[in-house]
């Protein structure tokens, strides 16, 4: 029996020693006490605890934590009571101070948050409280971080989750918001009507300007057309007169040329006195058809006998000339 008992004792000792080997998981710190006093704070890895001497005082998580505290009653500077609940984000940065610094750290943080919140809100009016959440969050975070530093706690952020004023205050705020919305609606409607009237007036103005411009342009075009027509008519009349004058001048020139040629030919023919008298009688009707009021008749043709004799002589001369030519 003795050897078996010894083996059993050795087996139990080995098992006990194995149980004294601890593995610290990720994001945890084990606070080790030796003979009742702090010995070490071990992070991730393997830890061996001496039998009957060492013990794990606390397993501390160093992950970021979120705590939602119950609503706290606070009073503003203008004596309005309201309920505010907060959310605190914190992280353990020193496991030893967290273990030995304060009893019940969460309760301590909650009470510190409540007193700090009362101090800050007590110096602000209701309207400022409702519109200054960021400033309140920053102030509380700074104060809590400084106060919890000796506990090995880092306060990362504090957020005001809800701000609940009394029911009558909420009703008044809702009426105020409704009145403000109605006022803005009326302002927007008035501005819309104003802009609409302005646009209509501008449209009418532009329309009148365009009509005036169109009438002006039409009058200009009409005047230009009439001017061009008058110019064309004047050019036509002038061209007509020029052509008539040129035709008359050409006719006169042709007549004068014909007369000159007749005179030349007459001179070349060396006419007799009887021929000349005949030509004078022949031109007498033309002279009589003129515009002159007085006609001077040559003495040579005053006598009918002289005219007949002259005519007879001319006829005889022409017949004699024909015979001679034959």
In angstroms, the CA 306 to CA 14 distance is: 194
Q: What are phi and psi of 78, to 5 degrees?
A: -95, 25
Contact present, 76 and 134 (Cβ < 8 Å): no
Domain boundaries, given as residue ranges, for the chain: 2-61, 65-165, 271-326
Architecture of domain 65-165: 2-Layer Sandwich (3.30)
Tens-place pLDDT, residues 67-91: 988 888 888 888 888 888 899 999 9
Tens-place pLDDT, residues 174-219: 788 888 888 888 898 888 888 888 988 888 888 889 888 888 888 8
Long-range contacts of 28-35 (CB under 8 A, 24+ apart): 28/59, 28/60, 28/61, 28/62, 29/59, 29/60, 29/62, 29/92, 29/95, 30/56, 30/58, 30/59, 30/60, 31/56, 31/57, 31/58, 31/59, 31/60, 31/95, 31/96, 31/99, 32/56, 32/57, 33/57
Contact present, 304 and 277 (Cβ < 8 Å): no
Tens-place pLDDT, residues 88-129: 999 999 998 888 888 888 889 989 989 998 898 888 888 788
Tens-place pLDDT, residues 207-255: 889 888 888 888 888 888 888 888 888 888 888 888 888 888 787 877 7
Q: Mean pLDDT over residues 300-308, rounded?
A: 48
Tens-place pLDDT, residues 127-148: 788 888 888 889 999 999 998 9
Does residue 304 carry a pLDDT above 50?
no
- pTM for the structure as a whole: 0.51
Instruction: Check residue 152 and give left, alpha or beta (phi > 0: left; psi -120 to 50: alpha).
Output: left
């Amino acid at each position: 029996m003795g050897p078996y008992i010894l083996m059993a004792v050795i087996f139990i000792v080995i098992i006990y020693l194995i149980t004294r080997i601890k593995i610290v998981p990720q994001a945890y710190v084990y606070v080790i006490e030796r003979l009742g006093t702090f010995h070490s704070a071990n992070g991730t890895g393997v830890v061996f605890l001496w039998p009957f001497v060492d013990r794990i005082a606390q397993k501390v998580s160093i992950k970021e934590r979120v705590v939602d505290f119950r609503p706290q009653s606070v009073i503003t500077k203008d004596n309005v009571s309201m309920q505010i609940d907060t959310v605190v984000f914190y992280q353990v940065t020193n496991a030893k101070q967290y273990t030995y610094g304060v009893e019940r750290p969460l309760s301590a943080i909650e009470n510190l948050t409540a007193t700090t919140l009362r101090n800050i809100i007590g110096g602000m009016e209701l309207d400022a409280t409702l519109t200054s959440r960021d400033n309140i969050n920053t102030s509380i975070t700074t104060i809590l971080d400084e106060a919890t530093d000796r506990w090995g706690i880092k306060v990362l952020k504090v957020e005001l989750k809800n701000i609940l004023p009394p029911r009558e205050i909420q009703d008044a705020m809702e009426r105020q918001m409704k009145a403000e919305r109605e006022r803005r609606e009326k302002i927007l409607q008035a501005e819309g009507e104003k802009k609409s009237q302005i646009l209509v007036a501008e449209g009418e103005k532009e329309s009148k300007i365009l009509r005036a411009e169109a009438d002006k342009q039409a009058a200009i075009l009409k005047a230009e057309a009439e001017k061009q027509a008058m110019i064309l008519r004047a050019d036509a009349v002038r061209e007509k007169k020029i052509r008539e004058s040129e035709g008359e001048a050409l006719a006169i020139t042709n007549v004068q040329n014909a007369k000159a040629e007749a005179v030349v030919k007459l001179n070349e023919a060396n006419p007799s006195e009887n021929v000349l008298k005949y030509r004078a009688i022949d031109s007498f009707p033309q002279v009589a058809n003129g515009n002159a009021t007085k006609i001077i008749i040559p003495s040579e043709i005053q006598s009918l006998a002289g005219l007949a004799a002259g005519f007879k002589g001319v006829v005889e001369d022409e017949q004699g000339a024909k015979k001679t030519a034959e």
